[in-house]
Amino acid sequence: MKQYKVGILGATGSVGREMMKILLEREFPVSELHLFASERSAGKVVAWNGRPIQIELASDDAFKGLDIVLGAAENDVAKRFAPAIVKAGAVFIDNSSAFRLREDVPLVVPEVNGEDVFNHRGIIANPNCSTIIAVTAINALRQLSPIVSIVASTYQAVSGAGAAGPVELSEQVSAVMKGQPVQPKVFPYPIAFNLIPQIGSEQESGYTSEEMKLQYEGQKILHLPALRVSCTCVRVPVMRSHSLSLTLRFHHCPTVFEARRAIQRAPGCKLVDDLGEGQYPMPLDTSDQDLVFVGRIRPDLTDEDGLCLWCCGDQIRKGAATNAVQIAELLINGEG
């Protein structure tokens, strides 16, 4: 089997570290792994696959000879180094939002629009974590009937804000239980025993940037330019795994039986839907694995063409790192 020289830009963050783990889990054919970070981390040594790897300083010349670079850095870093990565001849699979809506950059969830991978010009974008979970959950349903619109509420874990999010939640829970004051740093308000109904900056018509991603990215991934999405994003005191409540409106609504059967057969999904037995997707059950759990499938009582469901998925794995590695797998499998 051909081996590939792989780099990870932003290797010391939570998504970068997860990428390292998933490359091993999925037995990706890596001949060399190069880890790139800022001056603060450059020179440190980490273990991977039983051997030490020294973290390198990201620079324009650092990517020469690489085949694939997985991006786990912020937008400004991705924009800064993307031209150098492409010039070096590597394919840049980027997890930031820097390139997601560019017309010449495919935005890919392999189970949904994997064929778009091969239209790249050196850059492939990884969608937003909640978008990945949502479109994986509903992809099989759009095969039954075109989806016209979605009303969504997301319940996003603190780890979606980076490694400092879970630390802040733990510290605040401990402080509250001891009757001590809480000092928010990562989040604008206390997150322990609280909900914060804003993720991202104000963008348009009272919606935030995070909320609009589900519409714009969903349109591109699903190839549904007329799709309309009304979304509310909420930060919740959950460590890991995002949850979404989705109400879908179809041209001709499938039955609940048809929807359950389609999701049960859908790649990347697991049907967990038995209300009578107390079986439904939950963050604790979906953490540290790659399937999107789907359940609570039921008719929308306000619209005869509507269907409601609830889904959960690990936003660090399937919502970020695993999806990027799956894109890389499509690339190398398409070569042969």
Active site residues: 129, 242
CA-to-CA distance for 244 and 154, rounded, in angstroms?
4
CA-to-CA distance for 162 and 141, rounded, in angstroms?
32
Structure tokens at 334: 């398409």
Cβ atoms of residues 20 and 8 within 8 Å: yes
Q: Each residue of 49-69: b (16+ CB within 10 Å) or e?
A: eeeebebbebeeebbeebbbb
The single-letter code of the amino acid at 270 is K
CA-to-CA distance for 330 and 333, rounded, in angstroms?
5
